[in-house]
Amino acid sequence: MSSEQIYWQADDTDEIATANAPDRADVAVIGAGYTGLSTALNLARAGRHVVVFDAGGIGAGCSSRNGGMVGPSFHKLGSAGLIARYGEDKTLAIMREGVHALDYFEEFVAQNALDCDLQMRGRFRGARTVADYDAMARETDWLSRNIGLQVSMIERAEQHSEIGSDFYVGGAVYQRDGGIHPRKLVIALAQAARAAGVQIVTNCPVSNMRRDGGATTLQTPLGNVTAKEVVVATNAYADRRTPAMRNRIVPIRTAAVATEELSPQLMDSLTPKKRMFGESGRIFMWFRPSPDGRRFIFGGRIGRPGGPIEAQQKAFGQSVRRVFPQLSDVNFSHVWSGNVAYTPDHSPHVCFEDGVWLAGGYCGSGVTRSVYFGMKLARKILQEPGGETAFDDLPFQPVPFKPFSGRAASLLTKWYAHLDAQDLRRDRGKG
Write out the residue range of the structural domain in which residue 209 sits: 1-119+181-249+344-399
Give the pLDDT confidence score for residue 430 in this predicted structure: 54
Q: Do 204 and 350 have their domain in common? A: yes
CATH number, residue 383:
3.50.50.60
Q: What is the pLDDT of residue 431?
A: 44
What does each of the 431 residues of the chain score in pLDDT, given as a tens digit? 568 899 998 655 556 777 788 999 999 999 999 999 999 999 999 999 999 999 999 999 999 999 999 999 777 778 888 999 999 999 999 999 999 999 999 999 999 999 999 999 999 999 999 999 999 999 999 999 999 999 999 999 999 999 999 999 999 999 999 999 999 999 999 999 999 999 999 999 999 999 888 899 999 999 999 999 999 999 999 999 999 999 999 999 999 999 999 999 999 999 999 999 999 988 899 999 999 999 999 999 998 888 899 999 999 999 999 999 999 999 999 999 999 999 999 999 999 999 999 999 999 999 999 999 999 999 999 999 999 999 999 999 999 988 878 888 888 888 888 887 888 888 877 54
* Domain shared by 227 and 97, yes or no: yes
| Tally of domains within the chain | 2
385 and 361 inside one domain:
yes
pLDDT value of position 404: 79
Q: Are 378 and 421 in the same domain?
A: no
Q: Tell me: do 305 and 325 sit in the same domain.
A: yes
Q: Are residues 16 and 155 in the same domain?
A: no
> Do 115 and 137 lie in a common domain?
no
Are 375 and 294 within one domain? no
pLDDT of residue 113: 97
Same domain, 330 and 266: yes
Q: Is there a single domain that holds both residue 203 and residue 333?
A: no
Query: Could you tell me if 150 and 60 lie in one domain?
Result: no
Cα 233 to Cα 375: distance, rounded to the nearest angstrom: 13
**CATH code for position 414:** 3.30.9.10
Task: Count CB neighbours of 20 within 10 A.
Answer: 10
Q: What is the pTM of this model?
A: 0.94
Same domain (yes/no): 233, 84:
yes
Q: How far apart are CA 203 and CA 17, in angstroms?
A: 10
